[in-house]
Amino acid sequence: MKYFFEEWEKLREALSDKFIFLFLDYDGTLTPLVDNPQDADLSLESRELLRRLKDNSRCKIAITSGRKLEDLKKRVGLEGVLYVGNHGLEIEGTKINFKSPLSLHYLKTLQEIKKDLGTNIISAVRGAFIEDKGLALTLHYRLVDKKDIPRLKDLFRQAMIAYMAKDKICLKDAKMAFEIRPPVRWDKGKVAIWLLARQHFMLQEKINIIPLYIGDDVTDEDAFKALKNKGITVRVDGGAGSSAKYFVKDTSEVFRLLEEIGKVLA
Ligand SMILES: [Mg+2]
């Protein structure tokens, strides 16, 4: 991985006459990570910057998050942006309204699991909490004491094994969290490729589109891989072993990067 700003001069050239499709993760990318997901608010400056970018005719923005769609929309609060919630299970924006078809059976299983985790983990490991996102669950453990994390992981595996064996769910690692998702092959990478193809179709190939994906999470790695030879991928905080081509150090550098993109588009 290379430091983004070291390559910026070269990249700027490459972007100068292109249509830029920005894919932006929310937590840890547009907002600094906080202990409680409820407290992750978008700053005024960031919202204004995103507004300027999305109003540009050579730019499209998709906010891709593990959050519930409604929650994400409320937090970003901009129209004309594509919202990708629940890692792609829900997508909404101009001329698009997608919800992954999930069986009632799955949704029932999810509620069973929520109850199960409540009894076996939440009450047994201090600091662990569940976020119910409707179509998926997240078990957060960033507030759990370090020494209790191995025990939490053991308990979690034990609780999940029966569901896994029956292919009822799919588990994904996230940053200090576990994702319990439907057993479908649909992730941030596949979503990015799909949205990109859709944009190509809408622009009728009159202009070259370059996707620029910025994220900080394990779940963003699917997108880094999918976009490997198609565009610019940037990992925030440069996690070791990332498939992204570039990294920036923190969310303030994401802001700086987006400001530079604004200048290219001006
Ligand atoms: Mg993130």
φ, ψ of residue 95 to 5 degrees: the values are 60, 25
Written as tens digits, the pLDDT of the chain (266 aa) is 999 999 999 999 999 999 999 999 999 999 999 888 889 999 999 999 999 999 999 999 999 999 999 999 999 999 999 999 999 999 999 889 999 888 889 999 999 999 999 999 999 999 999 999 999 999 999 999 999 999 999 999 999 998 988 888 999 988 899 999 998 888 999 999 999 999 999 888 778 999 999 999 888 999 999 999 999 999 998 767 899 999 999 999 999 999 999 999 99
Cα 215 to middle of ligand 1, angstroms: 6
Contact between residue 23 and residue 244 where contact means Cβ atoms under 8 Å apart: no
The residues, ordered by sequence, that sit 6+ positions from 230 with a Cβ below 8 Å of its Cβ are 196, 211
According to CATH, the topology of domain 2-100+186-265 is: Rossmann fold (3.40.50)
Numbered ranges of CATH 3.40.50.1000 in the chain: 2-100+186-265
Cα 3 to middle of ligand 1, angstroms: 19
Burial (CB < 10 A; 0-12, 13-18, 19+), residue 148, is middle
Cα 207 to middle of ligand 1, angstroms: 30
Cα 136 to middle of ligand 1, angstroms: 16
Rounded-to-integer distance, Cα 118 and Cα 14, Å: 51
Rounded-to-integer distance, Cα 38 and Cα 56, Å: 30
Cα 12 to middle of ligand 1, angstroms: 25
Cα 204 to middle of ligand 1, angstroms: 32
Cα 31 to middle of ligand 1, angstroms: 9
Cα 200 to middle of ligand 1, angstroms: 26
The CATH number for 104-181, chosen from 3.30.70.100, 3.90.1150.10, 3.30.70.1020, 3.40.80.10, is: 3.30.70.1020
Numbered ranges of CATH 3.30.70.1020 in the chain: 104-181
- pLDDT of res. 40: 94
